[in-house]
């Protein structure tokens, strides 16, 4: 009986530790994806990354997931700290990507997505319980190339700019019709308590876990200061 009790206690502790490990791994994958994309010659324009108030990374979204429907992407979001987004990058919150017809636009077996949230209105939208891209928040395929102009009408009007990388091909991609939401279960697994994405990235309620240091270092090196518009 004692042996059974010990086994049950070990199992109870093992389950949350496994879940936390999975989220830490996802944060590490997001850092790897972002670093690789920022090393591409025609990558995200430097001035756009500098003006972004939040960055969302969805690593290795599998094509097969689109066939099933429902939730198909898991990633992370980090935002500039401070009321005016003038501070450093926040601890990451886990974020989900769902729905839409983006699956029909993908030719590779897996695709990485990077979203730049360009202003306070966009940040407020994605911090709501669920935001539909193109309806609750305006979104556009982001221009690429380090010398691309950030003053085009599309860029100036969009609250969110989106990019994808599949089989080595990097491009702006439309995610209109998809939805973004806080992955509350994953945030609880990562931080050990019920906590919303807003509390993590805007209120600074928790410090960044060790697994996020690489991701934040990549962003701090690429965009150390917020370039006010």
Which sequence spans correspond to the domains of the chain? 14-222
Torsion of CA 149, 141, 35, 118, to 10 degrees: 70
Record the pTM: 0.84
Quote the CA–CA distance of 87 and 198 in Å, as a whole number. 16
Query: Under a CB-based contact definition with an 8 Å cutoff, are residues 158 and 118 in contact?
Result: yes
Q: What is the DSSP letter of 137?
A: B
List, for residues 181-226, the tens digit of each pLDDT value: 999 999 999 999 999 999 999 999 999 999 999 999 999 999 998 9
List, for residues 24-77, the tens digit of each pLDDT value: 999 999 999 999 999 888 889 888 999 999 999 999 876 554 444 444 689 999
Spell out a b/e string for 171-192, using b for 16 or more CB atoms within 10 Å of the CB, else e.
ebbbbbebbbbbbbebbbbbbe
């Amino acid at each position: 009986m004692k042996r059974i009790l010990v086994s049950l206690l070990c199992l109870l502790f093992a389950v949350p530790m496994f879940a936390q490990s999975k989220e830490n791994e996802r944060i590490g994958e997001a850092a790897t994806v972002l670093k690789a994309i920022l090393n591409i010659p025609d990558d995200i324009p430097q001035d756009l990354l500098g003006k972004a108030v939040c960055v969302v990374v969805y690593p290795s979204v599998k094509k097969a997931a689109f066939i099933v429907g429902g939730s198909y992407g898991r990633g992370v979001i980090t935002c500039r700290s401070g009321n005016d987004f003038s501070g450093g990058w926040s601890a990451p919150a886990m974020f989900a990507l769902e729905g839409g017809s983006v699956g029909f636009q993908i030719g590779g077996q897996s695709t990485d997505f990077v979203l730049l949230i360009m202003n306070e209105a966009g940040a407020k939208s994605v911090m709501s319980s669920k935001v539909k891209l193109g309806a609750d928040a305006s979104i556009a395929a982001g221009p690429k190339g380090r010398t691309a102009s950030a003053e085009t009408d599309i860029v100036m009007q969009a609250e969110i700019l989106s990019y994808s990388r599949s089989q080595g091909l990097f491009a702006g991609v439309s995610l209109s019709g998809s939805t973004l939401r806080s992955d509350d279960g994953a945030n609880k697994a990562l931080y050990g308590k019920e906590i919303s994405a807003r509390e993590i990235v805007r209120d600074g309620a928790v410090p960044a876990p060790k697994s996020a240091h690489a991701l934040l270092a990549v962003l701090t090196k690429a965009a150390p200061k917020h370039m006010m518009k």
